[in-house]
Amino acid sequence: MSRKTTKTQVLAESAMMVALSIAIFAISDFIPWPFAYGGGFTLFGQVPIVLISYRHGVKNGLAAAFVLALFELFMGFKNVTYAANALGMAVIILADYIIAFGCLGLGGMFKGKFGNKQTAELVAGGLTVCILRFLCHFISGVTVWAGYCPEGEAVAVYSLVYNGSFMLVETILTVVGLIAVSAVFNLKKKNI
């Protein structure tokens, strides 16, 4: 098979997985979660991006994740307007959207690191990107969103509970989704 065909296959798979992830996130954006200032979880919305990273490398995963990040920024742009100033807006754009969702593209970083045990590599990648995404939201919570913390409550605790509540569910669903996909497909094969 020619190199051009391989690039075409990577692009086609990436486009399909980004579209699937966007569709899942879009559906979830219309579900009224009890999070006043954003947040919420999806039913396996991060899984397609982690799979692209695992199948086609971190570089392609980061590109796919960046597209998802831009979509999420567009869908959640009203949250940016809550910032008190331009610096706060920049932190929200970067920490809550671009970096938070962009880090999903690192999901394939463990490919080949655990003796080619696909499930372990996927789970390690999935857990890592979920932790990184949580840290992005946590940092945004203790900086920009600190003013929304209830009086008398520690800002760090508020951010931990607020962001941890939805990211814990998102992490569990991501790991379960990755295990399920790994049980059915050999992602290292050229055609699955």
- Per residue in 166-182, pLDDT (tens digit) is 899 999 999 999 999 99
- Cα 149 to Cα 123, 141, 156, 160: the distances in Å are 33, 9, 9, 11
- Taking Cα atoms as reference points, which of 188, 181, 161 lies closest to residue 44? 181
Q: What percent of the chain has pLDDT over 70?
A: 92
Residues in contact with 102: Cβ distance below 8 Å, sequence separation at least 6, in sequence order: 62, 65, 66, 69
Question: pLDDT for 30-70, tens place per residue?
Answer: 776 655 556 677 889 999 999 999 999 999 999 999 999 99
Position 192 scores a pLDDT of 74
pLDDT at residue 37, rounded to an integer: 58
Domains and CATH numbers, the chain: 3-184 (1.10.1760.20)
Q: What does pTM read for this prediction?
A: 0.90
How confident is the model at residue 36, as a pLDDT? 54
Q: What is the mean pLDDT of the chain?
A: 90
Q: Are 58 and 69 in contact (CB under 8 A)?
A: no
User: At residue 2, does pLDDT exceed 60?
Assistant: no
How far CA 30 is from CA of 5, 69, 125, in Å, comes to 38, 17, 28
